[in-house]
Amino acid sequence: MDNTDQVTYWNEGAGAKWAANQARLDRLFAPLTQALIAAAAPRPGEHVLDIGCGCGDLSLAAAALVGPTGHVLGADISRPMLERARARQAVEGQGLALDWLEADVMTHAFEPTADLLISRFGVMFFADPLAAFINLRRGLKPGGRFAFLCWQRREAVEWMQWPLDQVSSVFPTTPATLGTPGPFGLADESTTMRLLAQAGFSAVTADPVEAALTIGEGPDPVDDALALLLQTGPFASLFNEAGVAARAQAKPLLRRALEAKVQNGAVRLGGACWLYRGVAR
């Protein structure tokens, strides 16, 4: 099995959208990123591999912590997102020991040099998760550790589920599929922990991480939130696949619901994740 579908998806549309919204999405995920960095605890001098690094936010943060004696390699299949990461490094990360790799990490031949594997929402898309995690474990030194942040079930992730609920009269939805490539591929923590153990990791844990995510702010937080939801997440996928009439009904419904969510000049919705951790056997 390979990740051809994901390569196409993240290079022919989705990657460009995420790159264009990089600053907004990094602000959105900031509380979760901070929780991941705190749990992973990159140390000075360590070699770190960031899986599904996207536009580089987590890689840049890790590189600042490992310092000049360490090294971070950010890996992704999305060329548009890696181009954005490289552009950011030129401005934000001058002098950091940081490189980028465009590759399918499920099959890429990693050398066993990493002390730490990290990922913020980058490991849920593998066509063959077991093969992918076995391969990633090979990139760790014996006893090396990992920390991955993945979404819980869609029903528990307010910023993804709530917009769908507001337009359910126009866009009937079905429960998100677990265990298949996509945002909720690792949402079942028991199954994921068994998978990671089978791939050669030990001391595997899954801890819930929740935070209020700012999806809209600025002079018009409702417009800001609506712009984000129309470009990323499950609502955007549903909206883009709908007909003109359905879109015309759904957009004002969501806008009115967002107006009722404004508090202290911002729209915030919850984000519920699993923080998976363990070490290489």
| 80 DSSP β-pair partners | none
What sign for the dihedral angle of Cα 89, 48, 19, 106? positive
The secondary structure of residue 217, as a DSSP letter, is -
* Res 1: pLDDT: 65
Alpha helices in the chain (DSSP H): 4-11, 14-20, 22-40, 57-66, 79-92, 129-138, 158-166, 189-198, 221-229, 233-241, 244-259
- Is residue 89 within 8 A of residue 96, CB to CB? The reply is yes
Residues 6 or more apart whose Cβ sits within 8 Å of residue 29: 57, 120, 121, 213, 271
Residues 6 or more apart whose Cβ sits within 8 Å of residue 176: 153, 154, 155, 182, 183, 184, 187, 234
**DSSP code per residue over 47-61:** EEEEET-TTSHHHHH
| pLDDT tens-digit map of 62-76 | 999 999 999 999 999
Q: Report the candidate in 8, 99, 13 with the shortest Cα–Cα distance to residue 48.
A: 99
- Is residue 111 within 8 A of residue 135, CB to CB? The reply is no
Compute the distance between CA of residue 168 and CA of residue 93 in angstroms, rounded to an integer. Answer: 44
| Domains, the chain, with CATH or none | 4-153+177-211+271-280 (3.40.50.150)
| pLDDT tens-digit map of 104-159 | 999 999 999 999 999 999 999 999 999 999 999 999 999 999 999 999 999 999 99
Helices 22-40 and 57-66: crossing angle in degrees, nearest 10, is 40
Residue-level pLDDT, tens digit, the chain, 281 residues: 678 999 999 999 899 999 999 999 999 999 999 999 999 999 999 999 999 999 999 999 999 999 999 999 999 999 999 999 999 999 999 999 999 999 999 999 999 999 999 999 999 999 999 999 999 999 999 999 999 999 999 999 999 999 999 999 998 888 888 888 999 999 999 999 999 999 999 999 999 999 999 999 999 999 999 999 999 999 998 999 999 999 999 999 999 999 999 999 999 999 999 999 999 99
φ/ψ of 99, rounded to 5, equals -130, 165
| 151 DSSP β-pair partners | 273
* Res 13: pLDDT: 83
pTM across the whole model: 0.95
End-to-end CA distance of the chain: 25
- Is residue 125 within 8 A of residue 3, CB to CB? The reply is yes
